[in-house]
């Protein structure tokens, strides 16, 4: 039975934390999208463009401080945290030989490759790999 070491457990926690922040950001963005649609702004993903955010800020000011505050949170804090965790995960994936090998496959990025390696562990330990 394979028991991951402290480094693997720490990297797993990094990916879990990143995933939770991405979920929170998605929920907040969905809520803001709903508020915008209720006010006649049906911009879909264009709401998150620079022009869409500018228009949203004008609309949010008319709605009051709560939507404006939620918008600021999405635009600033959540994206910054995601970016930092993305960068840390990418460094960890580039430092891992198996993750780098997985990233050579089309469509497999650092987050996916690192999650795969951290979940499965060392492939050579498998009885199937030794046949």
Predicted confidence band at 11 (pLDDT cuts at 50, 70, 90)?
very high
What is the C-alpha to C-alpha distance for residues 37 and 52, in angstroms, rounded to an integer? Answer: 13
Count up the domains in the chain and report the number.
1
Q: Which two tokens stand for residue 83?
A: 């970016």
Predicted pLDDT of residue 34:
77
Which pLDDT band holds residue 120 (cuts at 50, 70, 90)?
confident
- Indicate whether 127 belongs to any domain: no
Inside any domain, residue 104: yes
Q: Is residue 97 in a domain?
A: yes
Burial 69-102 (b: 16+ CB within 10 A, else e): ebbeebeeebeebeeebeebbbebbeebebbeeb
Query: Residue 45 falls within a domain, yes or no?
Result: yes
Instruction: Record the tokens describing residue 111, joined without a space.
Output: 């987050």
Average model confidence (pLDDT) across the chain: 78
Q: Which residues contact 102 (CB under 8 A, 6 or more apart)?
A: 108, 112, 113, 116, 117
Residue span of the structural domain in which 13 resides: 6-120
pTM: 0.67
């Amino acid at each position: 039975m394979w028991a991951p070491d402290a480094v693997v457990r720490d990297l797993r926690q990094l990916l879990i934390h990143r995933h939770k922040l991405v979920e929170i950001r998605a929920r907040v963005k969905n809520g803001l999208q709903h508020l915008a649609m209720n006010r006649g702004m049906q911009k879909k993903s264009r709401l998150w463009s620079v022009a869409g955010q500018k228009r949203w800020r004008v609309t949010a000011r008319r709605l009051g401080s709560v939507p404006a505050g939620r918008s600021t949170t999405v635009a600033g804090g959540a994206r910054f945290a995601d970016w930092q965790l993305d960068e840390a995960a990418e460094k960890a994936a580039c430092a891992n030989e198996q993750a780098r090998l997985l990233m050579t496959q089309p469509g497999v990025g650092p987050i996916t490759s690192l999650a795969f390696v951290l979940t499965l562990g060392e492939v050579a330990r498998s009885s199937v790999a030794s046949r």
